[in-house]
Amino acid sequence: MENMLLWGIFLLYISLSFNYSYCLSGANRAFLGLYKGIPESAVVAYGEEGEDLAMPYFSKSLLEGACASYFQQALQGYVQSYELAYRYECVSAEAKRSTLPDYAAIRLSFHLSPFGDFQKSCHFQIQESPYES
């Protein structure tokens, strides 16, 4: 009887561990998928008339909409709820003069009970390419 109880506890532990690693690896894969160009799609480099802007910047509404849509689809089946937090800054001297952000940070967090929290952030900054002439 004691052996059956121990095997039952072991089976429960194995199934919880598998579920945890499945959710964690899926969420991590979804987070790393952010580097495929989602923040780049929110960079505004041209004006409404098609003219070049002096300094490209991150559009807050485009970035937040693209990230929310991406994570809603990518995290489906892995976590029930999650939180996204954004931080924008003007890092370069040109961006500080124009008050348009050239730096964006995206933070993803959610709770994986009973094991703890998942928290990761990534940072993106618009810089001039050294290869352009």
More confident residue, 115 or 16: 16
CB atoms near residue 76 (< 10 Å)? 10
pLDDT score for 132: 67
Q: What is the DSSP string of 118-129?
A: EEEEEEEE----
Report if residue 114 sits inside a domain. Answer: yes
Report if residue 71 sits inside a domain. Answer: yes
- What is the chain's Cα-based Rg? 21
Domain count, the chain: 1
Report if residue 131 sits inside a domain. Answer: no
pLDDT score for 133: 53
Region 95-116 average pLDDT: 86
Report if residue 133 sits inside a domain. Answer: no
Question: What is the reported pTM?
Answer: 0.82
Q: What is the pLDDT of residues 58-77, one digit of tens each?
A: 999 999 999 999 999 999 98
Report if residue 132 sits inside a domain. Answer: no
What residues make up the domain containing 41? 2-125
List residues bridging with 118 in a β-sheet.
Answer: 110
Q: What is the mean pLDDT of the chain?
A: 88
Q: Do the beta carbons of residue 53 and residue 65 sit within 8 Å?
A: no
Report if residue 11 sits inside a domain. Answer: yes
Report if residue 53 sits inside a domain. Answer: yes
Cα–Cα dist 43/129, whole Å: 15
